[in-house]
Amino acid sequence: MIHHEAVGDGPPVLLGSSLGATSGMWDGQLPLSERFRLIRYDHRGHGGSPSPPGPYEIADLAGDVLDLGIERAHYVGLSIGAMVGMWLAANAPGRIGRLVLICTSAHMPPASMWQERAATVLAVGSTEPIADAVVDRWLTPGFAAEHPEARSRLRAMLTSADPEGYAACCGAIERMDLRGDLSRITAPTLVISGADDLATPVEHQRLIAEAIPGARHEIVSPAAHVAAVEQADAINRLIEEHLS
């Protein structure tokens, strides 16, 4: 079973992190535990979760969440965490209440980008060679300069990832195409973009919001890919409003 921890009381809310980040990425959302039971988890190959042999698919990561045995919960995900949320909302609709999708995409070509990243990590046996380039896309330069401790903490999460598990998650994104699933999502959905996100630009979220019936789209600024860290207060207001 994947590592997870719960805090707070109220309606359960699952929190799915970015590729390369642990559940600690959601520390800025802990104030929401005053109203909700927050259940943060680590994807396989990340944090305290095991790293079974690959290849992985998004459905495998979603199956890990279903195996936690939570009958029904709201779901908030960022990046690959939101990809898992889309899969769950389309394929296990009875298990998902409301859905929040942050800085994500339903389809992320070219495949070569993910293949090269996985190959680099596996060749060295560490995520260290890619760490600076990845984290530089997670935060805007201004925020990273003003909050070096936040950048260092995120970088440490990334370099702690199991290289084989991380590479297998890259493969899951490489092969992912959730575009055909979006019209089947019935959960009330909020899609949030970081205005400065280079990893999954705003247009990716706009396409998701247009394809999910009734979905709402919001943009926070300034914010790069890990907007839940950079704009924690704004993200929390949007989450609380949508889940309430």
Q: Domain holding 194: CATH number?
A: 3.40.50.1820
How many structural domains comprise the chain?
Answer: 1
- Averaged pLDDT, 43-58: 97
Enclosing domain of residue 177: 4-243
- Averaged pLDDT, 22-29: 98
Neighbours of 33 (CB within 10 A): 15
pLDDT above 90 as % of the chain: 100
d(CA 36, CA 10) in angstroms, rounded, equals 4
d(CA 5, CA 39) in angstroms, rounded, equals 6
| Residues whose CB is less than 8 angstroms from the CB of residue 127 and which lie 6 or more positions away in sequence, other chains included | 20, 121, 158, 159, 161, 163, 166
Q: pTM here?
A: 0.98
Over the stretch 161-201, which tens digit does the pLDDT of each residue have?
A: 999 999 999 999 999 999 999 999 999 999 999 999 999 99
Q: What is the pLDDT of residue 115?
A: 96
